[in-house]
C-alpha cells in the first residue's frame, strides 16, 4: 500500500471570530488517500492555514521540504519511519510549532489507515488495554460579561455536566491574563471566589480541575492565591504561569499542595522533557494533534510513566481529536481522564457536526472503541458546509 494523495480541509465554524478565546471554531482536517482506496483522517489545533502551508508547500532543499511531497509514494503503515522522515525533512522551518502540529494531523490519519488496514481499533495497535472504559472530564468555558454571570454560568454548566453523567469537570477561570474572558475583569480574589463558589455548588463528591490559562506572570504572586485554594480539593491547577516559565513552575511545584498541569501547547517529546524535568510539572497534558500525533504522544506517555507523572490529554477540538485521545488513553494506565468538550455544552458547530457519529458516552464513560481505525466517519455535508472558500 502506498500514499497517493494528502488533502487539507481548512474549516471555519459560522461563529469563527478572531476575538474569540476558543480554538474550537476552526480546524485543519487532513485526509490521506492510498492506492487501496483506504482513507485516513486526522486534525490538529493550530492556525489551519499555517499548518496547511507546511503540508502543501514545495521544498527548496533537503531539510526544508514540504510534508506532502515527502508522503506521496510512502508506505502508510510505517508510522515511525514516516514521523522521523517528516520531522527531519522539514526541520529548518518546522521542528516545533505549527510544523509539528501539521505532522500531528498526518500521523493521526496514518494510524487511522493502519487500523482500517488491519481491522483493529487504533488502541489495539498501540498496546494492551489499561482501562475497560475511558473517563472523560467535561471542559467548561463559561459565558457572561461580569463576575456574577460568569460564576453562575459555570455553576449551571457544572450541574448539567453532573446530570449528563460526568464525574469530573474543568473550570476555565480567566478574569485576567493573556486569555482573559471577554470584557470580564477581576483580580486574584476573583479567581478564589469563583472556584470556591463552584466547589460549594457541586459538593465534595465530584472531581474538579481549574484552568487559569497563563493568568499569572509571577510565581510568587500565583502561589499566594493557589495556597488559599489547597483546601478546595482540586485534581489539578492548569497553566497558572506563562508556558516558558519553567523555573516558575518548579518553584510552584516545590511550594504548593495542588498538582500542576501543563502541556496543551507543547510540541514533541523534547518539550515535555523540559516540562517534566526542569518544570517539575505533575500532570502532562499532550494534545495529540499538537504534540505530533499518536506516535509522539505515546512517547510522552512512556516518559511520564518513567517519571511517575500523570497524563491527562488536552483536547479542545472535534470528535477526531477526542477519538485520538481516547485511543491513547486506552493503553495508558497513568491516564485517569481525557478532556472532553461536550457537544451540547459548547458553541462549536464543528464539534457538534464534523463526524456522522461520536464515540458513544455511556453512564459518563466512553467504552473502548471496537471499530477499525479511529472509529469515525467524516460528515461530508458538514465538510462542504464549513470549508473555507476565501483563503
Which chain residues interact with Mg ion by CB under 5 A? 211, 264
115 and 79 Cβ atoms separated by less than 8 Å? no
Kindly state the smallest distance separating residue 174's Cβ from Mg ion, in Å: 9
* Nearest CB to Mg ion, comparing residues 89 and 104: 104
Q: Which of 234, 277, 241, 242 is nearest to 259 (CA)?
A: 234
Name every residue whose Cβ is closer than 8 Å to that of residue 384 and which is 6 or more positions away in sequence.
none
* Nearest CB to Mg ion, comparing residues 264 and 282: 264
122 and 90 Cβ atoms separated by less than 8 Å? no
- With 0-12 / 13-18 / 19 or more C-beta atoms within 10 angstroms meaning exposed / middle / buried, residue 243 is middle
Kindly state the smallest distance separating residue 179's Cβ from Mg ion, in Å: 8
Measured at CB, which residue is nearest to Mg ion?
211
For 249, list phi and psi in degrees, rounded to 5. Answer: -65, -40
For 282, list phi and psi in degrees, rounded to 5. Answer: -95, -35
* Nearest CB to Mg ion, comparing residues 44 and 295: 44
* Nearest CB to Mg ion, comparing residues 179 and 192: 179
* Nearest CB to Mg ion, comparing residues 211 and 271: 211
Kindly state the smallest distance separating residue 140's Cβ from Mg ion, in Å: 12
Strand extents, DSSP E, 145-286: 168-172, 207-211, 234-238, 260-262, 283-284
Give the C-alpha separation, 217 to 357, whole Å.
42
- With 0-12 / 13-18 / 19 or more C-beta atoms within 10 angstroms meaning exposed / middle / buried, residue 47 is middle
Kindly state the smallest distance separating residue 265's Cβ from Mg ion, in Å: 9
Kindly state the smallest distance separating residue 350's Cβ from Mg ion, in Å: 18
Q: Output Rg (C-alpha) for the chain, integer angstroms.
A: 20
Three cell numbers written together for 384: 462542504
Kindly state the smallest distance separating residue 187's Cβ from Mg ion, in Å: 20
Kindly state the smallest distance separating residue 64's Cβ from Mg ion, in Å: 32
* Nearest CB to Mg ion, comparing residues 226 and 376: 226
* Nearest CB to Mg ion, comparing residues 223 and 237: 237
Kindly state the smallest distance separating residue 171's Cβ from Mg ion, in Å: 11
* Nearest CB to Mg ion, comparing residues 211 and 245: 211
Three cell numbers written together for 96: 516545533
350 and 387 Cβ atoms separated by less than 8 Å? no
Q: Is 324 helix (H, G, I), strand (E, B) or coil?
A: helix
Amino acid at each position: 500500500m502506498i500514499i497517493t494523495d494528502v488533502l487539507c480541509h481548512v474549516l471555519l465554524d459560522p461563529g469563527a471570530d478572531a476575538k474569540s478565546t476558543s480554538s474550537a471554531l476552526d480546524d485543519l482536517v487532513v485526509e490521506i488517500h492510498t492506492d487501496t482506496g483506504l482513507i485516513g483522517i486526522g486534525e490538529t489545533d493550530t492556525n489551519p492555514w499555517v499548518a496547511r502551508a507546511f503540508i502543501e508547500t514545495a521544498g527548496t532543499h533537503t531539510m526544508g521540504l514540504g510534508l506532502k511531497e515527502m508522503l506521496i509514494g510512502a508506505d502508510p503503515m510505517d508510522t515511525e519511519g514516516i514521523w522521523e522522515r517528516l520531522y527531519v525533512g522539514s526541520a529548518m522551518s518546522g521542528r516545533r510549532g505549527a510544523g509539528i502540529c501539521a505532522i500531528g494531523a498526518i500521523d493521526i490519519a496514518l494510524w487511522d489507515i493502519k487500523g482500517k488496514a488491519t481491522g483493529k481499533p487504533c488502541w489495539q495497535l498501540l498496546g494492551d488495554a489499561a482501562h475497560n472504559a475511558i473517563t472523560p472530564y467535561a471542559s467548561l468555558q463559561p459565558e457572561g460579561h461580569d463576575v456574577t454571570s460568569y460564576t453562575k454560568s459555570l455553576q449551571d454548566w457544572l450541574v448539567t455536566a453532573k446530570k449528563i453523567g460526568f464525574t469530573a469537570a474543568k473550570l476555565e477561570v480567566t478574569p485576567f491574563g493573556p486569555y482573559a474572558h471577554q470584557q470580564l475583569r477581576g483580580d486574584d480574589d476573583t479567581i478564589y471566589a469563583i472556584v470556591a463558589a463552584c466547589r460549594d455548588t457541586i459538593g465534595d463528591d465530584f472531581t474538579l480541575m481549574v484552568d487559569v490559562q497563563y493568568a499569572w506572570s509571577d510565581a510568587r504572586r500565583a502561589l499566594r492565591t493557589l495556597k488559599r485554594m489547597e483546601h478546595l480539593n482540586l485534581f489539578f491547577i492548569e497553566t497558572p504561569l506563562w508556558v516558558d516559565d519553567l523555573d516558575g513552575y518548579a518553584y510552584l511545584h516545590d511550594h504548593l499542595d495542588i498538582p500542576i498541569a501543563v502541556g496543551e501547547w507543547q510540541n514533541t517529546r523534547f518539550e515535555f522533557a523540559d516540562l517534566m524535568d526542569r518544570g517539575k510539572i505533575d500532570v502532562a497534558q499532550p494534545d495529540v494533534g499538537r504534540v505530533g500525533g499518536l506516535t509522539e504522544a505515546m512517547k510522552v506517555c512512556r516518559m511520564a510513566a518513567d517519571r511517575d507523572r500523570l497524563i491527562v490529554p488536552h483536547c479542545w477540538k472535534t470528535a477526531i481529536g477526542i477519538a485520538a485521545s481516547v485511543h491513547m488513553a486506552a493503553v495508558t494506565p497513568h491516564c485517569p481522564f481525557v478532556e472532553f468538550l461536550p457537544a451540547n455544552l459548547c458553541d462549536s458547530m464543528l464539534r457538534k457536526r464534523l463526524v456522522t457519529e461520536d464515540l458513544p458516552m455511556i453512564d459518563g464513560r466512553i467504552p473502548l472503541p471496537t471499530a477499525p481505525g479511529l472509529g469515525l466517519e467524516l460528515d461530508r455535508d458538514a465538510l462542504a458546509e464549513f470549508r473555507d472558500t476565501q483563503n
